[in-house]
Structure 1
Amino acid sequence: MKQRLAVIDFETTGITPGVGCRATEIGIVLLEGGQIVDRYQSLMNAGVRVPPMIEQLTGISNAMLRSAPPVAQVMREAADFVGSAPLVAHNASFDSKFWDYELAQLGRTRPQAFACTLLLSRRLLPQAPDHKLGTLTRWAGLPATGRAHRALADAEMAANLLLHLGTTLRQQHGRGAVDHGLLCKLQKVPAAKVPQYLRELPA
């Protein structure tokens, strides 16, 4: 994957963005030429409380958020950092909701699509014990990047997984060029039909 891609991860106070559920941290990794070339990470204060269960999971406390920069500032920086680069996330249906919601608070919209390493791993790594990010990282022998459920560590894990999926496509399916467009198409193909789909694609 030679093109520049932005791999993102949010930590949040819940699962559906809204008045009482907001992002608390974002991590972004830029990939280019098959390697990480830049990173962005910040806590963000959206004026919502972190439930005890979420604090225990992420380690992000209400005290930490009180001194964090305002959400609008962080999201402007994050959107400018990503620019027009195609987006990637593990379980992108989750992260894309928060990305879109927080951008909408700034009057901005997302022009680019998300590729999802969760959907892609289900199709390309069906033999994995499960398709959680931590499980896949350990199973595939990918680098440990830090504490799980912190945004930058998870974004780096997803970036390493994406590179592994690219290697799988090249080595097991003979794909010379792997780009974001192919990944977005592939994640919509039923898992059982993926080998045939890849065989029938032009080389």
Structure 2
Amino acid sequence: MSPIAVIDFETTGLSPAMGDRATEVAIVMLEGGRVVDRFQSLMNAGVRIPSFITQLTGITNAMLASAPDAAQVMADASRFVGDAPMVAHNASFDRKFWVAELQRLGLPAPQPYACTLLVSRRLYPQAPNHKLGSLVDFHRLPRAGAAHRALADAEMAAALLGQIQRDLRARHGVARPDHALLMTLQRCAKPAVSALMAKYAAACTGQ
């Protein structure tokens, strides 16, 4: 299957429309379900981090003072991703910052985003909740470093994506659980998931 870029941002708040900026980005590149490369950097956007965000993430204003400029980091991140489609947990959040930070540089952000949170809600309704850490524990996947740091969260989202793809193969008979299927599945009404999976499985077997 084609490469997939799994991304996570840490930020100063919830919305770039309210003036919030990215403080850290991490991207895990997958090919055939295997990690083939990683990108991670703090970034200095010239804004202060609220104290409650520092308490959540551990990222301090002093750390950002010596971090590379946000424009350089995002230009490098854009080159790293290239044309690869993207995945994130709660992707609407990360996509907003991806688009906003690249728009500041006049760079396009055409990559389609699949969301492991939305897909998990459809595939794992029995999970206690659909937070990233809870799903990692539900599937007994390894935790990667401290939560609410970009690389740790991107690694865990990548591991969750791998679990989703394995389950689509083993439980639903989908030979190629690619990014396009994830996009279709996340938009599917929950009562229609079984029919959608049967359709894809039949297509895989040529029936």
TM-score under structure 2 normalisation? 0.95
Corresponding letter in the other structure for 2:36: V
Corresponding letter in the other structure for 1:97: K
The answer on whether the counterparts of 1:20 and 1:48 sit within 8 Å (CA) in structure 2 is no
Structure ranking higher on relative contact order (CA contacts 8 Å, 6+ apart): 1
CA distance in 2, matches of 1:54, 1:157: 21
Which residue number in structure 1 is paired with residue 123 of structure 2?
Answer: 124
Structure 1 consecutive aligned stretches of length 4 or more whose deviation exceeds 2 Å: none
Q: Secondary structure at the match of 2:45?
A: coil
Once the two structures are overlaid, the 10-residue window that deviates more, 182-191 or 192-201, is 192-201
Equivalent residue runs for 1:80-91 within 5 Å? 80-91=79-90
Corresponding letter in the other structure for 1:74: V
2:68 counterpart of 1:55: no
CA distance in 1, matches of 2:168, 2:145: 27
Structure 1, gaps ≥5 residues long = none
2:157 counterpart of 1:158: yes
Q: Secondary structure at the match of 2:171?
A: helix
Which residue number in structure 1 is paired with residue 168 of structure 2?
Answer: 169
Q: Sort the Cα spacing of 1:73 and 1:19 in 2 relative to 1 into closer, same or farther, 3 A.
A: farther
Q: Secondary structure at the match of 2:14?
A: coil
Q: Secondary structure at the match of 1:6?
A: strand
Q: Secondary structure at the match of 2:36?
A: strand
Corresponding letter in the other structure for 1:153: A
Structure 2, gaps ≥5 residues long = none
Which residue number in structure 1 is paired with residue 65 of structure 2?
Answer: 66
Alignment size in residue pairs? 202
Q: In percent, how many aligned pairs have the same letter?
A: 59
TM-score under structure 1 normalisation? 0.97
Cα drift, residue 19 of structure 1:
6.5
